Structure 1
Amino acid sequence: MTHRLRVAEVVAETPDAHSLIFTVPPTLAAEFAYRPGQYLTVMVPHNGGSVARCYSLSSSPHTDTDLKITVKRVRDGQASNWICDHVVAGETLELLPPAGEFTPASLDDDLLLLAGGSGITPGMGIIKSVLAHGSGRVTLVYANRDEQSVIFAAELAELAERHGDRLTVTHWLDSERGAPDATAFAALLKPKNRIDAYVCGPEPFVAVARDALQKAGVAPERVHVERFEVEQEKSMDATLEVEIDGQTHRLPWPAGSRMLDVIIGAGLNPPFSCRQGHCGACALRMLRGKVDLVNNEVLEQEDFDEGYILACQALARSDEVSVTYY
């Protein structure tokens, strides 16, 4: 169930990234309780309806009274540009409560964080929580295009100075070193190859980071990944017919939108959880039409043979698509 929360403040972190700070009324405090590294789902107006976008919380439940998400512009991104261009303090936005599994099991464990661009967002919540409420040590490797692109630069510097024995920050700037390289990254990570690693950023960064962690000898079960939701992919305008809750609905499906966003934007109540393609909660069955899945880490070939797909990852590849939740 969605709730409307008031935007208390908008902070320009960099020329391309804004933080939204939300005030949570006491009546919703329990529902909006969260763990460091989780995200909020924001309903953004689009073509007379809305699309759902997930943005990680950069606040910490252990240090911050309000909720904070940080949004970086994506080229041609419907949601990120609308938020950065139009949202001001005093407005209200429709949100789903916090969700996500990109969160450490214990704040007393030593952690390795690898962030690319706005992938630092969940990392900030984790870092602040560990330093304020745990005993673990954190090593952060943070990649950006240049110095002006570094989100939370001053806050990270202040935390590193105040907690020098527990927080180590290494900046990788493309302007100085070139694009991140798996072999060079591996050399930085090898001394920390026996602790859990948390990776967040755009897909090219995630691929390099995972390769570097493997080269550094980090066990696969210690690697935790949070992928960005891509706002625009090549696809086509379509009509989606969906059977849910005893009714059949025909919905316009704009090019570039995920099937799950279309269903939620129509005011329906589909099941979902991670929105990343690795939990299976949004699985449903195709009756006709074609889709592409952006990411899939849960469905096997036998599932596809039975017609199952993931609504959160599905893009239209035919002008008519019919699906059912039965």
Structure 2
Amino acid sequence: MSDSFELTVLDVIKETDNACSVVLDPGEHKELFQYTPGQFLTVAVPSDRTGLVARSYSLSSTPVDDGPLTITVKRTADGYASGWICNELRAGDTLRVLPPAGIFTPKNLDADLLLFAGGSGITPVMSIIRTALARGTGQIVLFYANQDDRSVIFADALAGLAAEHPDRLQVVHWLESVQGLPSEDQIRAFAAQYVDRDAFVCGPAPFMALTVAALKELEFPRERRHQEKFVSLGGNPFETDAEREPGADDDEDDVTEAPAPTGPAAHLLVDLDGQDYEFNDWKPGTTILEHLESKGIKAPYSCREGECSACAVRLLEGEVTMRANDVLEEEDLAEGIRLGCQSEAATEKVRVTYS
């Protein structure tokens, strides 16, 4: 289990009829909750059926002002967690949270940015905009698609930023109620004006798919094309072995364990938070995350099941095999990105970086 922390809720702000922002005070854990724009928090939501459920929500605040953390949550149809957060959470309550994670973040805040957001996909994009305007020098264009004007999250904040930075920020709203759903051709025509920029895409799966397809057709290189994906967590990163309810799989008479993998230990080199680690005893069948944890090193992760990118590493030398992968695309893999919670050694020497 990754270390989780109880943060105090300072405020719950109604953004639209179906979205709210939760302002959190990191308190004494301020250093652990430093983040980069575009990252997310994984929170524990109490559940009558399962004790709690884990959900990931992007940070919409900026780290520039060293202020409180803010996540923005859109209520989904029949969504238990989002409904509980928007309906039940109040100032003064506490929320159990894992430290920030995610790789949907600009490497260079001075770069010119082309941002695409659909609905609540504006959340990490808003953090990127706020931070880039405060710390960077580049030009920013936002294409923001919503169902109607009542569903536009951060409408006033975006208008204020555009008025404050008219020479740097351009916001283009697309309303389905007025223009219909945007097509791939329309997005491609829009993006064609900005082919030299770094593109970031976040929103519903269909919106992201057609936007990424348009960018690919315009030959945006992979290193300048980024998309954020969230998969509902199948596991529970807050759960300890003691908290896990016993079931049939815990009955020793009914379980035949596979033999542990055998073979020579691998040589693992890791760059994490600016510090280098080197090991000659990385056991077969053990993931990078598991090995680091066995050494008392706290490496990032969230779902532990290959369903998010919180544990992503970049492969610098050697090769690994992944037990599961529901989030990385072929182009991500070609770029050397791997999931630390799923990666086992496939060569005698492996070198990775978390940066």
Normalised by the length of structure 2, the TM-score is 0.68
Letter in 1 for 2:158: L
- The one-letter code matched in structure 2 to 1:69 is I
Aligned to 1:33: 34
For the pair 1:185 / 2:187, whether they are aligned, the reply is yes
Q: CA–CA distance in 2 between the matches of 1:64 and 1:205?
A: 33
Of 131, 139, 142 in structure 2, the residue corresponding to residue 140 of structure 1 is 142
Q: Do 1:111 and 1:196's aligned partners in 2 also have CA atoms closer than 8 Å?
A: yes
Q: Residue deviations 1:117-156, cap 9 Å, x none?
A: 0000001111010111111111100000000000000000
Q: Is the 8 A contact 2:201 2:228 kept in 1?
A: yes
Q: Counterpart amino acid of 1:172?
A: W
Flag the 1:220–1:56 CA change in 2: closer, same or farther, 3 A: same
Note the residue ranges of structure 2 that are not aligned, 5 or more in a row. 250-297, 314-320, 334-340, 343-355
1:228 deviates by 3.3
1:204 aligned to 2:242? no
Give 1:220 shift.
2.8
**What is the match of residue 216 of structure 2?**
214
- CA drift at 1:32: 0.6
What's the offset of the Cα at 1:216?
Answer: 3.0
Post-superposition offset of 1:112: 0.9
Q: How does 1:1-326 map to 2 (within 5 A)?
A: 1-25=3-27, 27-46=28-47, 47-63=49-65, 65-230=67-232, 250=246, 272-273=301-302, 276-277=307-308, 295=327, 297=329
Deviation at 1:217, TM superposition (A): 3.2
Over the matched positions of the two proteins, sequence identity in percent amounts to 46
Distance 2:177 2:233 in 1: 26
Partner of 1:10, secondary structure, is: strand
> Is 2:299–2:311's contact at 8 Å kept on the other side of the alignment?
no
Q: What is the distance in 2 between the residues matched to 1:252 and 1:33? A: 41
Q: 1:183·1:215 contact (CA, 8 Å) conserved in 2?
A: no
C-alpha distance in 2, partners of 1:279/1:101?
7
TM-score by length of 1: 0.74
Contact 1:100 1:273 in 2 (8 A): no
| Larger strand proportion of the pair | 1
1:279 Cα deviation from its structure 2 partner: 7.2
Residue ranges of structure 1 left out of the alignment (5+ in a row): 233-239, 254-268, 287-292, 301-308, 311-326
Q: 1:159 to 1:56 in 2, by over 3 A?
A: same
Aligned to 1:320: none
Cα distance per residue 1:9-37 (max 9 Å; x no partner):
11000000000001121x21110111111
**Are the equivalent residues in 1 in contact too, given 2:24–2:70 (CA < 8 A)?**
yes
2:182 is paired with a residue of what secondary structure?
A: coil
Q: Which moved more, 1:83-92 or 1:12-21?
A: 83-92
Amino acid at match of 2:175: L
Report the Cα distance in structure 2 between the residues aligned to 1:112 and 1:43, rounded to whole angstroms: 33
Amino acid at match of 1:169: V
Residue type at the aligned position of 1:3? F
Partner deviation per Cα, 1:32-81 (whole Å, 9 max, x = no partner)? 11111111110011224111111000000013511000000111112111
Give me the whole-angstrom Cα distance separating, in 2, the residues matched to 1:96 and 1:252. Answer: 30
**1:169 positional shift:** 0.6
- In the alignment, which residue of structure 2 is the partner of 1:305? none
* Per-residue deviation, residues 250-281 of structure 1 (Å, max 9, x unmatched): 4599xxxxxxxxxxxxxxx9983586545776
Amino acid at match of 1:194: D
Give SS of 1:171's match.
Answer: strand
More displaced, 273-282 or 52-61? 273-282
Q: SS of the residue aligned with 1:88?
A: coil
- Pair 1:252–1:278, CA change in 2 (3 A): farther
